[in-house]
């Protein structure tokens, strides 16, 4: 009995000390009050207030407790009912392409060849002969059934080389001046992994270059200077925080981009946290980083380099995705392999030996299968690499037999909801009624227990995470078509979709201990929005407004409301 009383007394003293510590006045750099806090932390799913100190979340709880524990914060914001989410993470982005899109002709959502030609004509009228006309955004998937030729481009810009990149980067549309500079003519052979399209009747070049054939002309386009690259990345980063993003996983980083990112961070001009996927096309870059090992920023958490990005195939829209059986609407082809299984296995094995992750672009069912084969064999050769979190980017078309392999191998699946709603007008034509059942199969993949991060692949799709979440939970376009959703059995719940943009995205970058939920000790990365997305009708997701974006406790974007 005496022992019990003694133990009880010690426990009581301990609890009183803990409670006393909780009630002791504490310092906070920022106190957010009167909010609906969706933490995604099962230990404390909701709250009303968040305290931030030294760039970290210091405390989460009620308004009454907040005022008692933090009586004199450096700054207080009354959010008047706004919603706080964990900072949104887009785990597959192209900052450079987004930034360049502000510097080029913007052809996104342009619906006809005539409209594109008009833009080129206007640009040609105000620049000197010989200067390149660059554009981006025409939809190579939507237009693939009837690609344009370059006849009109030749007429409106005969003295200016024209290079217009497709929306998803898998086809380019160029004029004769650009082809001439590149030395490409009717006799030029298709490069490995690409195609130079010819008119079926005359044999003339159409000006359409797919996949690796784009590089025949692209290598002649004058590269951006370092200051221009910095400007492009800064413009893209500003657009990201306006859309509520606090971190991005940048897919395909080049040497000059890495230098630009470092300089922007040093100058205090990069509001985002960036997880770098180095572009494996640059062999010297791969060799350099394999020699020195990953760079993991454990202090500022602003720039981490520990992943290589490689391509297994092209896109479904341009029929570059590699399929197990021929395309239903083009039985003469099964797609284009851009990196073979042995090449992916070799890079993966070397990466695992040095502590790197590998993220492989794989769209078609054949590509996904040989990537999984390559990963499996590479991991068997490097058993000391525990939980390497190898990634497949897109996993767009999957053979049903391969679905369980992702969780078995511990492979992270990186998927883009809006790809489905953009591709649905023509995807089944490419794949047929049976193969489509394994396409854009988010529910099927998640149901296996695999880790699935959702993201945008911007600028090919919108970088608005709430539009992506809308696509994930409805499988409809913004106008609500088709009724009930396209293959609605693959829809996700709002919680699954939100996790895909937060905790699962953090997991994909080995950062779930510091990101992805709102909990004491984690980085103070928060997205403040106008509506509780867990309570609204799906259509209302499209009207969600980002009110504030907070990175490390610093407000990097604000509408001005509730300040």
pLDDT confidence of residue 137: 86
Separation of alpha carbons 270 and 551, rounded Å = 11
Each as own residue / partner, the long-range contacts of residues 112-117 (CB below 8 Å, 24 or more positions apart, any chain) are 113/148, 113/152, 114/152, 116/148, 116/164, 116/173, 117/152, 117/153, 117/156
> CA torsion sign, 109 to 115 to 120 to 125?
negative
Q: Where are the alpha helices (DSSP H) in 126-242?
A: 151-156, 176-182, 215-218, 226-242
| Rounded Cα–Cα distance for residues 344 and 291 (Å) | 18
Alpha-carbon span 207 to 172, nearest angstrom: 8
Q: Do domains 90-94+226-514 and 96-218 have the same CATH topology?
A: no
Using alpha carbons, list the distances in angstroms from residue 93 to 42, 233, 428, 460, 500.
29, 12, 26, 9, 15
Instruction: List the domain boundaries for the chain.
Output: 2-81, 90-94+226-514, 96-218
3-state SS, residue 134: strand
* CB-count exposure of residue 350 (10 Å: 0-12, 13-18, 19+): middle
Phi, psi dihedral angles at 91 (to 5 degrees): -90, 10
Distance CA 172, CA 165 (A): 4
Quote the distance between the C-alpha of residue 538 and its chain's center. 22
Which of the 8 DSSP states describes residue 483? T
Structure-derived torsion over alpha carbons of residues 177, 183, 188, 192, reported in degrees to the nearest 10: -100
Return the pLDDT at 560: 57
Domain 90-94+226-514 CATH class label: alpha beta
**pLDDT at site 143:** 82
**Contact of 460 with 167, CB cutoff 8 Å:** yes
Residue from 429, 321, 415, 428 nearest 367 by CA: 321
CATH 3.10.310.70 describes domain 96-218: yes
- Residue 25 has a pLDDT of 83
Is the domain covering 2-81 a CATH 3.40.50.720 domain?
no
Q: Classify the C-alpha dihedral 365-321-342-91 as positive or negative.
A: negative
pLDDT of 168 reads: 79
Q: Which two tokens stand for residue 541?
A: 């997701």
Residue 266 vs residues 55, 259, 263: alpha-carbon distances, Å: 18, 11, 5
Q: Cα(395)–Cα(414) distance, rounded to whole angstroms?
A: 7
Helices (H), 437-478: 442-447, 465-474
Supply 324's token pair. Answer: 């197990």
Yes or no: say if 135 and 164 are a contact pair by the CB < 8 Å rule: yes
pTM here? 0.85
Axis crossing angle, helix 255-266 with helix 226-242, rounded to the nearest 10: 70
Please tell me the distance from the alpha carbon of residue 291 to that of residue 318, in angstroms, as a whole number: 37
Q: In what order do the strands lie in the sheet with 56-61?
A: 56-61, 49-53, 30-33, 76-78
Report yes or no: 150 and 176 within 8 Å, Cβ to Cβ: yes
Q: CA geometry: angle at 273 spanning 32 and 55, to 5°?
A: 35
The DSSP annotation for 68-123 comes to HH-SS-S-EEE-TT-EEEEPEEEEEE-HHHHHHHTTSEE-TT---HHHHHHHHHHH
What's the CA gap between 44 and 438, in Å, rounded? 36
Distance CA(92)–CA(81), nearest Å, equals 31
- Measured CA distances, 444 to 279, 281, 467, 477 (Å): 30, 32, 21, 21
Asked if 295 and 304 count as a contact pair (C-beta separation under 8 A), the reply is yes
Residue 198 has φ and ψ, to the nearest 5°, of -120, 155
State the distance between the two ends of the chain, measured CA to CA, in whole angstroms. 58
Give the span between the Cα atoms of 222 and 390, in whole angstroms. 35
Give the three-class secondary structure for 405: helix
Strand boundaries in 395-516, DSSP class E: 412-415, 452-454
Instruction: State the burial class of residue 200 (Cβ atoms within 10 Å of its Cβ: 0-12, 13-18, 19+).
Output: exposed
pLDDT at 23: 56
User: What pLDDT is recorded for position 139?
Assistant: 84
Burial class of residue 386, CB neighbours in 10 A (0-12, 13-18, 19+): exposed
pLDDT in tens, the chain (563 residues): 444 334 434 444 433 344 434 557 899 999 999 999 999 999 999 999 999 999 999 999 999 999 999 999 999 999 999 999 999 999 999 999 999 888 889 898 888 899 999 999 999 999 899 999 999 888 887 787 788 999 999 999 999 999 999 887 889 999 999 999 999 999 999 998 889 999 888 999 999 999 889 999 999 999 889 999 999 999 999 999 999 999 999 999 999 999 999 999 999 999 999 999 999 999 999 999 999 999 999 999 999 999 999 999 999 988 999 999 999 999 999 999 999 999 999 999 999 999 999 999 999 999 999 999 999 999 999 999 988 999 999 999 999 999 999 999 999 999 999 999 999 999 999 999 999 999 999 999 999 999 999 999 999 889 999 999 999 999 999 999 999 999 999 999 999 999 999 999 999 999 999 999 999 999 999 999 999 999 999 999 999 999 999 999 999 999 954 33
| pLDDT attached to residue 419 | 96
List C-alpha distances in Å: 312 to 15, 262, 395: 57, 29, 11
Assess contact for 259 and 278: CB atoms under 8 A.
Answer: no
Cα gap 303→250, rounded to integer Å: 11
Of 85, 99, 10, give the one whose Cα is nearest residue 41: 85
């Amino acid at each position: 009995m005496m022992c019990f009383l003694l133990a009880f007394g010690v426990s009581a003293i301990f609890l009183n000390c803990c409670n006393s510590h909780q009630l002791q006045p504490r310092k906070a750099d920022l106190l957010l009050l009167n909010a609906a806090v969706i933490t995604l932390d099962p230990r404390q799913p909701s709250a009303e207030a968040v305290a931030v100190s030294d760039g970290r979340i210091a405390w989460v709880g009620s308004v009454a407790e907040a005022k008692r524990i933090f009586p004199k914060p450096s700054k207080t914001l009354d959010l008047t009912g706004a919603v706080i989410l964990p900072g949104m993470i887009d785990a597959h982005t192209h900052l450079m392409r987004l930034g360049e899109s502000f510097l080029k002709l913007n052809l996104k959502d342009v619906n006809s060849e005539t409209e594109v030609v008009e833009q080129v004509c206007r640009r040609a009228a105000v620049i000197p002969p010989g200067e390149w006309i660059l554009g981006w955004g025409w939809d190579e998937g939507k237009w693939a059934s009837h690609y344009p030729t370059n006849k009109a481009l030749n007429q409106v810009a005969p003295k200016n080389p024209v290079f217009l990149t497709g929306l998803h980067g898998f086809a380019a549309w160029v004029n004769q001046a650009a082809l001439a500079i590149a030395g490409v003519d009717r006799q030029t052979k298709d490069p490995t992994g690409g195609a130079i399209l010819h008119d079926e009747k005359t044999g003339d070049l159409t000006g359409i270059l797919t996949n690796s054939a784009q590089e025949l002309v692209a290598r002649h386009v004058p590269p951006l200077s370092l200051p221009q690259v910095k400007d492009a990345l800064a413009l893209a980063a500003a657009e990201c925080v306006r859309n509520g993003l606090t971190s991005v996983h940048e897919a395909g980083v080049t040497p000059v981009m890495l230098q630009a990112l470092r300089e922007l961070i040093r100058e205090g001009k990069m509001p985002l946290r960036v997880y770098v996927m180095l572009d494996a096309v640059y062999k010297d870059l791969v060799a350099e980083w394999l020699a020195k090992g990953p760079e993991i920023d454990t202090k500022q958490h602003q720039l981490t380099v520990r992943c290589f990005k490689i391509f297994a195939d092209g896109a479904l829209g341009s029929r570059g995705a590699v399929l197990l059986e021929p395309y239903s609407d083009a039985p003469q082809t099964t797609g284009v392999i851009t990196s073979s299984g042995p090449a992916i296995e070799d890079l993966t094995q070397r990466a695992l030996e040095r502590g790197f992750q590998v993220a492989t672009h794989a769209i078609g069912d054949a590509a996904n299968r040989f990537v999984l084969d390559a990963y499996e064999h590479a991991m068997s050769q490097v058993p000391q690499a525990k939980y390497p979190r190898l990634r497949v980017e897109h996993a767009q078309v999957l053979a049903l037999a391969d679905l369980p392999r992702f969780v078995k191998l511990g492979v992270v699946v990186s998927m883009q909801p809006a790809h489905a709603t953009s591709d649905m007008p023509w995807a089944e034509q490419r794949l047929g009624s049976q193969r489509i059942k394994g396409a854009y199969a988010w529910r099927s993949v998640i149901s296996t227990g695999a880790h699935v991060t959702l993201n945008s692949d911007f600028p090919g799709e919108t970088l608005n995470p709430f539009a992506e979440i809308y696509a994930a939970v409805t499988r409809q376009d913004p106008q609500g078509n088709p009724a009930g959703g396209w293959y609605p059995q693959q829809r996700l719940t709002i919680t699954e979709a939100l996790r895909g943009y937060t905790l699962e995205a953090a997991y994909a970058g080995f950062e779930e201990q510091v990101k992805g939920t709102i909990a004491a000790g984690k980085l103070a990365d928060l997205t403040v929005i106008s509506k509780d997305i867990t309570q609204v009708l799906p259509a209302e997701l499209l009207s969600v407004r980002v009110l504030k974006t907070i990175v490390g406790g610093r407000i990097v974007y604000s509408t001005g409301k509730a300040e």
